[in-house]
Structure formats: C-alpha cells, structure tokens
Amino acid sequence: MQPLQHLRFLEAKKVGEPEVMLFGVPLEATESFRGGTRFAPRAIREASRSVESYSRIFGKDITQVPLADLGDVVLSGDVAGDLEQVAGLVRGWASDGKRVVMLGGEHTATLGVVRGILRVLNKLQVVVLDAHSDFREEYLGLSLSHATVCRRLCDMGVLVGVAGVRSFFGGEGEEFEGFLCQLEDLPSRLDPKRPLYLSIDLDALDPSLCPGVSNPEPGGISYAQVLELFRSLRRFDVVGLDVVEGCPPCDPSGATMVVAAKLVQEGIAAFWG
C-alpha cells in the first residue's frame, strides 16, 4: 500500500480497530476513450475536504464509524497481477469481518475486490450502476477490461444486477437482459440472504452532474435516485462498495469528484456503524 501523509478521506485515520477499510486503486490500464482515472482516488480524497461528515438523510456522522483510510495500492502495470494483489488485501480484511470501500480507478479494479470477498464468503451478489453494459467477452483483445467487468463478475458465479445502462454493444444479444433492470426494481430482484457488494460507475449518473468520467453517456440517473437506492439496500448485508471511473482532468470544476466523495460519505453512513 502507498501510505498517505496528510491526505485522507474525511481525515479518516487507522486508529483502534477499524471496521471499514477504505483504500484506493489508481488503475488506468485499459481505458479506451479519455484518460485520467488514475488520478481519481486522490481527487476524491481532496474533494472530501468540502464534504461534511454528518448525513442528515441517514442520521449518522461517519466520524463515529470506525473507518481507516489505508492509502493506495501500488500497481505494477500488469492488470492480472494487480487484481490479484487487490484480491489478497481484501481477502485478509474480509476474513476479519471488515467492510471495504474502494476508490477507483477504472472499473476493472472492482474484479479484484469482489474476488477477494468471494474467497471468504463463497457467495455474493453485486449491484452495478453503470451507463454501459460492460458485458463484452473481450475488448481490444483484453478479457480483463473496463468493458468486460459484468461478464467477468458473472464468470465468478456471483449474482449480478445492473441498472443505469443506456449504451449496449450490439453483439451482446439477449444474454445480458437477465441482469439488466430499472433502478427502482433492483432491490426486489436481490436475494435477502446473500451478502451484497455495490459498484458505482460514475458514468451511470447524468453527465450534467458528473461530466468528469472516462466514457460519458447522455441521460442517466440522478443523485437523488442513488440515495434512494441506498435507502432500499439498507436491509441487506452490504459488505463493500466502490466508486469508479472518475476522470478528474475532464472536469476542471471538480464537481464530479465532490459527487463521488459525497456518495462515499452517504454510503458509509447508510450501511455501517
């Protein structure tokens, strides 16, 4: 892990016995349109300086949540090896009953987190918010890619539910339809007995709200809709979440990273502590 000197998410520090482990994966290896996802974990932390720690919606101050910001994973440039490194870290935390928050980086990093959790829990369901299906078998010759995430999750044997999609690869056919649903229908399609992991690709939100993403797509869900999903998922055993695909150079205003930081803050308040 790359230690942080003075910059932590909402000043979270590794003290006592944390229950929520936050870390960054500054992965940018397979992006195909706009670069810059490697800068997002730090940018989210910087944006968190403008976010208050108290959630009025969920009635909780996350400074009261045992939260540790452990810094960023040091990546080698070998995607398969980097995902395995992430999986090893997460497996250790999950073995101790910790919850996990990952700041991406490109969406491919989610595969490492889910792999690590699965090695401990054996069964899992993953909710994905994304403008794209990410269901290709391979993309640009790569099986591990930001465009293959949902396909690889299915290969792992997890239950997958996807909402927010409005961009499809023509070769996917009807196979993907079983995983796709409207945002408001997601909770009813989930298994209340399975632990749940939530992955938020920022391009799922309307690009007028989050322009700083690697692959923006017109339309999209609102911030309020994401918070409503948080409310509906509180009855599940949420074991982790991530926010990925932020691209700070594409949004000089910094608004996208503030949205990302706020989603992390509200997610922690909604599910833990």
CATH code for position 248: 3.40.800.10
Examine the pLDDT at 15 and tell me if it is beyond 80: no
Inside any domain, residue 244: yes
Residue 127: the pLDDT is: 97
- Please report where in the chains the tokens 């490492």 appear, as a residue: 112
Residue 172: the pLDDT is: 57
- Model confidence band, residue 13 (pLDDT cutoffs 50, 70, 90): low
Query: What domain range includes position 239?
Result: 9-271
Residue 135: the pLDDT is: 84
Inside any domain, residue 1: no
Residue 170: the pLDDT is: 65
Inside any domain, residue 87: yes
Task: State the total domains in the chain.
Answer: 1
pLDDT in tens, 196-243: 999 999 999 999 999 999 899 999 999 999 999 999 999 999 999 999
pLDDT in tens, 181-192: 889 999 999 999
- Model confidence band, residue 6 (pLDDT cutoffs 50, 70, 90): low
Average pLDDT value for the chain: 91
Inside any domain, residue 3: no
Examine the pLDDT at 178 and tell me if it is beyond 80: no
- Helix-then-strand count for the chain, H and E: 6, 9
Mean pLDDT of 137-150: 80
Inside any domain, residue 176: yes
* DSSP letter for each residue of the chain: -B--SS--GGG----SS-SEEEEEE---SS--S---GGGHHHHHHHHGGGS-SEETTTTEEGGGS-EEEEEEPPP-S-HHHHHHHHHHHHHHHHHTT-EEEEEESSTTHHHHHHHHHHHHHS--EEEEE-SB----S-BTTBSSSTTSHHHHHHHTT-EEEEES--B--GGGTTGGGGTB--GGGTGGGS-TTS-EEEEEEGGGB-TTT---BSS--SS-B-HHHHHHHHHHHTTS-EEEEEEE-B-GGG-TT-HHHHHHHHHHHHHHHHH--
pLDDT in tens, 70-126: 999 999 999 999 999 999 999 999 999 999 999 999 999 999 999 999 999 989 999
- Model confidence band, residue 169 (pLDDT cutoffs 50, 70, 90): confident
Residue 16: the pLDDT is: 65
| pTM for the predicted model, two decimal places | 0.94
Cβ pair 49, 113 in contact under 8 A: no
Inside any domain, residue 14: yes
Inside any domain, residue 2: no
